[in-house]
Structure 1
């Protein structure tokens, strides 16, 4: 059995219909953008609230983004500064190492130069008496010499004149030498021997190392002499009779006589 509404009477809209109608009306108003005198007060208030909240969300979002960008920029700046600092430290270290290497090289060069200079000094030869001359030559004849000839050369010198080692060597004799008076015999570094006779004073001892130009005694007139001078010999051995030409010997070592 069907029921129908009486003519002229209207049924109250159901709850679902009313809600649907309200939603459709609100949607239409929102779509057209028209909110006027016919809008319900509650709907207008809701729309304003929603609009205000959306604006605040945008503003907050912009602030957070700016903060993130600023933080990222700061991090990039810090990273760039750290990289620059690291590069500067590496460059400073490299320069320090280069400076140290250069200084080390310079020190080594100076040490080599000093050793070379020392070697030259030790290998150099000098005259036994500075500023003197040969007064009696090698192999000069005469009755004054027991062998019949001069086994060395004589340098002009008054008593007390400084006598020098002609080169580097080791003293093997230092004392009385008979006809030579006070004498010194030195074994040179090259294996030859030099002898210094008629000394008034001896300033070295056996076993002592001497260098070129070092004072070893004073000239005099001890032994078999007619006056003060220095008797100098070059030998192949320490003993008498092994003499070689002392003038040629000294000149071969660069000494000008």
Structure 2
């Protein structure tokens, strides 16, 4: 075979058959990446395609069974729902307990307020009752101190005050005589304290009482004495019995009113009793 000479300089890039040199204007060629992908796909088709084809019916047959991931997800959802329900129940129970506690606290506070109100009412009523009792006691005491009666119930004066006669050492009667049979009850004409009780010379058995207004009354010629010194007496209380002891000419009661216990401090007994509301 004949050789055809191609003209040109050696190394000339435009000359056919000349040596080709590499340089910055040309890189050595290499297979592209897409060529590798194509080759890989071809290899897969050549070697694994059949396996993939064969595996496809089995995979299709198991499509009804849930995958492991699906099962776990469903279990998580179920557990989450149960947890939410449990948390909701606990929240409702706590809310109910809180409501119950609040209701009990409110009821207790209301009971305390009602008890305090009832106590205030009871205290006010007790205070009012005590005040009423105190008023009644004061009124009773006032009445007791200001009540006077006859020394012999239903009697009358048989000998007047300052009557003249030799029967009296002073020449006149220092008191009044009340008609009374032997043993007739003799009463205190008012409230007071017994300061003398016993034998007193011409007065015989005698009782002297200091009255609540500071005056004194004397009861003479008694057949019996029923009180002792220091005894508190009320109006109309029996202090003895009428008699005929001492300088006396028959059973009667000698009654005097005085400014002191001393003889000669006498007052008009009738005027004294009338000034204290006694009618005679």
Question: What TM-score, normalized to structure 2?
Answer: 0.69
The answer for the alignment partner of 2:47 in structure 1 is none
The answer for the alignment partner of 1:88 in structure 2 is 110
Structural mapping, 1:17-36, within 5 Å: none
CA distance in 2, matches of 1:39, 1:93: 82
Paired residues of 2:145 and 2:212 also in contact (CA < 8 A): no
Which of 119, 144, 155 is matched with 1:121 structurally? 144
The answer for the alignment partner of 1:10 in structure 2 is 38
Distance 1:213 1:39, change over 3 A: same
Distance 1:186 1:50, change over 3 A: closer
Bigger radius of gyration: 2
The answer for the alignment partner of 1:23 in structure 2 is none
Answer with 111-120 or 128-137: which moved more.
111-120
CA distance in 2, matches of 1:58, 1:158: 117
SS of the counterpart of 2:40? coil
- Is residue 237 of structure 1 aligned with residue 264 of structure 2? no
Paired residues of 2:162 and 2:175 also in contact (CA < 8 A): yes
- How far has the Cα of 1:122 moved from its partner? 4.0
SS of the counterpart of 2:67? helix
- How far has the Cα of 1:53 moved from its partner? 4.0
CA distance in 1, matches of 2:84, 2:229: 102
SS of the counterpart of 1:75? helix
Q: Relative contact order, CA 8 A, sep 6+: which one is greater? A: 1
Which of 179, 183, 200 is matched with 1:156 structurally? 179
Deviation sequence 1:208-256 (CA, Å, 0-9, x none): 4333222211101223333211111101121222111111111222222
- Is residue 210 of structure 1 aligned with residue 233 of structure 2? yes
CA distance in 1, matches of 2:228, 2:73: 118
Unpaired segments ≥5 residues, structure 1: 14-36
Deviation sequence 1:95-140 (CA, Å, 0-9, x none): 4422441353123432442354234324432221122222222233
- How far has the Cα of 1:45 moved from its partner? 2.8
Deviation sequence 1:19-68 (CA, Å, 0-9, x none): xxxxxxxxxxxxxxxxxx98994997367436624642552254134213
Question: What TM-score, normalized to structure 1?
Answer: 0.75
Which of 82, 93, 97 is matched with 1:75 structurally? 97
The answer for the alignment partner of 2:78 in structure 1 is 56
Aligned CA-pair RMSD: 3.3
The answer for the alignment partner of 1:101 in structure 2 is 123
- Is residue 182 of structure 1 aligned with residue 210 of structure 2? no
CA distance in 1, matches of 2:123, 2:230: 43
Unpaired segments ≥5 residues, structure 2: 1-28, 42-58
